[in-house]
Amino acid sequence: MMTKHDLKSAPATWVADLVLLAVGISALLIAIILWFDNAQGGLTGNGVFKSLELKPWVVDPGHAALYPSNYLFYPAYGALCRGLDLLGVFAGDPRRQITILNALSASLCLCAVYLMVRALTADRLVALLAALFHISSSFVMFLAIVNEDILPSYTLLFASMSLAAVWFARPTAARVVAVAALFSIAWLFEWRLMFPTLPAMLAALWLCERRLVMRLAWIGLFLATMLAMAGVVAAAWQGHNGAVGPIDLIWTGKAVRSVWAGFSWPKVGYLWDGMVAYLLGAGVAAIPGIPGWDIWRYTATLWMLAIAAVAGPMLWRARHEAWARALGAVFGVTFAAGSVFNLYSQPQDPQMQINVMAWLTPAWALVLVAARQRWGRNGLAALGGLSAALLAYNVWSLAPLRGLDSRWQQAIERLEARADPARSVFVLHDFDWSMIYASLHWGPAEPGIEALGPAPQATPKFKWIGFTSQVLRHPDWSTEAHVADLKRQIDRALDLGYDVFIVRLWPMEQKQLETETGMIADSARLAALQRMLHADYTAKLAFDDPIAGPFHQLRGAPGR
């Protein structure tokens, strides 16, 4: 039976536990960061480009540009990076400083987990074990040690959801305003977080208030607070480089019409992958050569179904109590709305799933309550051990990606020795790690050769043609137009006297190409691009780097 508790008082044990979580988990995550030596994490290169956009906020915040979809992220993290500079922590390197700040954010998120669960259950051990489970989940732990930009936004969002789960059971004007204000700060850090959780907040207010007039009043107050927060933030930054008005903050339209947008059947499979990977990292668990059998996917699926099978009936039996309606609405509607939202965007991405799958933590807390009621402390010990094993496994699953920062730096140094950047143009898959690390060490450059003069040319140092760049930028083009444009760019680079190297793509099989491209291009378009390369050019292996892969030098095919 859940106990109705408030957050008005904080006993000494609460304070001690919060300090333990904040300090202990921060230390653990920073130790993993140093061991991992891979700030990008091996999934995407977003952190490299985020750190390049963040750099002006560190060195010259007065002239740095604001970005509507991450309006508060860059100013806040820029100030925090300046603080780390003063402390000598990865001084001058925002790319790695972000990992430290994310670790600190994650530890604060665990404090929010603890406060929510302890307020709802009045059980200290259950609250601590729920926090342990949260950080043990693969995507939470992973995003806490890499330089993606979602953790501070997620921490603020989870804190607002936790407050709503407790306070909306008995809403007051002050509580509604406080939750709406904190929620608004979260989406002002990362705009897209508004959409899955806004309907959940409003549903909780509707379900927990019996009086129709007050239902409408609470919802109106929540929305008015959001508008007011957008107005205050817009006014505070008025006149700054890139500043926008409150309406532009509420609707930025980020990625709505991008190549990622739209519903398709393959995304259902990606959605499943994203959900299970939230809990359990694939890493060392995937067994190659056994068709249809992935231990990690089915294990995680069964685990999540078991959690839902215990927590769901507990909430249903308590549906007449306000706490159950608030908790179920805040986290359940976020999951439902977020799954639809993710089907429209990138459902396998850790950043897209971390907030949507947050329901697992309060559901696990209910499982812990049930275990304590049936088996006492022995039940809690067993489930705590399971969470510890989950954390250990998810850290272990990162082992194949360990040390990639150092290894890629060495690879780029070898590449510069083998292919003079002043005389070389690289044909790269747009998601290839060679592009990410060349951008980091040589300086970022847009794909394309329109601005290039004859070889040699020192600037930009990194010159490249994206295999799917125009697919990303012009998804409305026909396949023939994409093929013709790629050929035109390669031909012009050759005519200008550059050595043109194609990286990893020449021997790549269609299935692998589709896997690496994800959802941005269909198999027919990819096959047409690949056919053109092999029909119109010849390639000779120039060198094969142990990290970056094979580099083939392209020549025009005879008679072409």
341-358 residue pLDDT tens: 888 888 888 888 999 999
Pairing verdict, β 464-466 and 537-545: unpaired
Instruction: Report residue 290's pLDDT band, with 50, 70 and 90 as the boundaries.
Output: very low
| Domain extent listing, the chain | 12-400, 404-556
CA distance 138 to 132: 12
Per the listing, tokens 């499982």 go with 367
The values of phi and psi at residue 434, to 5°, are: -60, -40
Burial letters 269-306, b for 16+ CB under 10 A, else e:
ebbebbbbbbbbbbbebeeeeeeeebebbeebbebbee
pLDDT in tens, 47-95: 888 898 999 999 999 999 999 999 999 999 999 999 999 999 999 999 9
Q: Is 466 helix (H, G, I), strand (E, B) or coil?
A: strand
Instruction: Report residue 252's pLDDT band, with 50, 70 and 90 as the boundaries.
Output: confident
- Res 516: pLDDT: 80
Give the percent of the chain with pLDDT over 70. 93
Q: What is the residue type of 560?
A: R
CA distance 326 to 298: 31
Give mean pLDDT, residues 136-143.
95
CA distance 313 to 371: 14
Other C-beta atoms closer than 10 Å to the C-beta of 263 total 10
* Contact between 57 and 101 (Cβ < 8 Å): no
CA distance 546 to 435: 16
pTM over 0.85: yes
Give mean pLDDT, residues 202-224.
97
pLDDT in tens, 466-525: 998 888 888 889 999 999 999 999 999 999 999 999 999 999 998 888 878 777 767 888
Chain Cα centroid distance, residue 337: 18
Six-digit token string for 355: 């907030």
Pairing verdict, β 499-503 and 424-428: parallel
- Res 49: pLDDT: 83
**DSSP state at residue 421:** G
- Res 284: pLDDT: 46
Bigger pLDDT: 252 or 392?
392
CA distances 538 to 415, 454, 484, 529, Å, are: 21, 22, 17, 15
Q: Is 226 helix (H, G, I), strand (E, B) or coil?
A: helix
Q: What is the residue type of 171?
A: P
- Res 260: pLDDT: 59
| Secondary element (H or E) of residue 209 | none
DSSP readout, 267-312? Answer: HHHHHHHHHHHHHS--GGG--TTSTT--HHHHHHHHHHHHHHHHHH
Six-digit token string for 36: 């991992």
Give mean pLDDT, residues 124-149.
96
Six-digit token string for 456: 């040699």
CA nearest to 8, candidates 170, 157, 128, 129: 170
Six-digit token string for 84: 């780390």
CA distance 98 to 93: 9
- Res 264: pLDDT: 75
* Contact between 519 and 260 (Cβ < 8 Å): yes
CA distance 215 to 208: 8
Per the listing, tokens 């998601």 go with 431
Would you put residue 3 in left (φ > 0), alpha (ψ -120 to 50) or beta? beta
Six-digit token string for 418: 């083998």
Instruction: Report residue 269's pLDDT band, with 50, 70 and 90 as the boundaries.
Output: confident
CA nearest to 39, candidates 50, 47, 31, 30: 47
**DSSP state at residue 38:** -
Give mean pLDDT, residues 395-399.
90
Q: Is 445 helix (H, G, I), strand (E, B) or coil?
A: coil
Six-digit token string for 224: 């008015």
